[in-house]
Amino acid sequence: MADRLIPVFDGHNDTLLQLTEAERKGAPISFMDGDESLHIDWHKAGAGAFAGGFFAMFVPPVKEGEQALELHEMLTPVEQTYALDYTMHLASSAFRLEKESGGSVRICRSATDIRKAMSDGVIAMLLHIEGAEAIDPDFHALEVLYGAGLRSIGPVWSRANIFATGVPFDFPGSPDQGPGLTEKGRELVRRCNQMGIMLDLSHLNEKGFWDIQKLTSAPLVATHSNVHALSHTPRNLTDKQLDAIAESKGVVGLNYAVGFLREDGDQKNADTPIERMLTHIDYLLAKLGEDGVALGSDFDGCTVPEAIGSSAGNPKLIDAMRSHGYGEALIEKIAHGNWISLLERSGI
């Protein structure tokens, strides 16, 4: 049937951060019971056929004894021991959610695991680090986190660390700001390739992007980025970067953040039409082909178009793709198939 719900496996969300912060503030919220503050919870996931995704572990800096969650405050660098401690809390939130769900949420460690979870009708959670501040210079934490289920790392968020430099959020702006990978960053790439950990290029500056392109043996991936030619934020990808991703048989996940969709870069204007998302998808398809485009919503970490609202709104995007002329097979690839195939090509 044309109106059937198509499962969505999403390239990026910050739901673990929201759950962890609520707990740290003494006012825990329940993923399973649902909460208005969350873009993704059990009920919204069911309504929107959210099948799972990359669940990010992002570390906010500390300000006056509390975690700083305003964008300009989060640009402050964080120290490794604090980052590791906070990442442990984020990971514990994931494991606790898996347990409390009674089998309805499952931490997955491979594409095979994800396929099985989707077949079983449970939410597939792939653990991802957004900004590698928790990883020590000797990479001991990397080994431990891999053992716990980590399968994807973005070397940076939009700030510098011992591995690389992230892009700022100035608008308009170029992603070509700041130096490339450090020597430790190069070692991180080599180790991730050896271990079977995906490298996420979202938030990385352009020099770092090209350093990884030269070093990596895996497809190039940006889990939650859009088209710089359509929205001139440094967080988006240039045509040259998109060409390199296509050549590597990589994938880009469409970011729902309005500031990365809009021509004016307004990060708070939810009055952004779904058609603007389709404009970016069209461009990505032209550059990357049908196997290179996926979804990377950034749910629970940004302002999304009002027409989408939350993960419950994903069917509206799917229906818009249908109305736009996309066939069912292409929509299935964008909604979940391309992420799973990418993980398989990456040896995960």
**117 contacts: CB under 8 Å, gap ≥ 6:** 51, 52, 106, 108, 123, 124
**Spatial distance between the Cα atoms of 246 and 240, rounded to a whole number of angstroms:** 10
pLDDT at 82: 95
Nearest residue to 235 via CA among 251, 254, 213: 254
**Spatial distance between the Cα atoms of 275 and 267, rounded to a whole number of angstroms:** 17
Alpha carbon of 21 to those of 40, 101, 106, 157: distances in Å? Answer: 15, 19, 21, 18
The model carries a pTM of 0.95
Tokens standing for 211? 């350093």
**45 contacts: CB under 8 Å, gap ≥ 6:** 123, 311, 312
Alpha carbon of 98 to those of 25, 43, 94, 103: distances in Å? Answer: 21, 16, 6, 7
pLDDT above 70: residue 108: yes
Tokens 């979804």 belong to: 295
pLDDT above 90: residue 271: yes
CA angle 25, 30, 34 (to 5 degrees): 130
135-156 per-position pLDDT tens digit: 999 999 999 999 999 999 999 9
pLDDT at 67: 60
pLDDT at 62: 75
Q: Could you give the domains of the chain?
A: 8-345 (3.20.20.140)
280-327 per-position pLDDT tens digit: 999 999 999 999 999 999 999 999 999 999 999 999 999 999 999 999
pLDDT at 50: 99
229-258 per-position pLDDT tens digit: 999 999 999 999 999 999 999 999 999 999
**Spatial distance between the Cα atoms of 45 and 52, rounded to a whole number of angstroms:** 8
Mean pLDDT, the chain, as a whole number? 96
pLDDT at 61: 84
151-207 per-position pLDDT tens digit: 999 999 999 999 999 999 999 999 999 999 999 999 999 999 999 999 999 999 999
Give, to the nearest 10 degrees, the angle between helix 80-100 and helix 15-24.
100
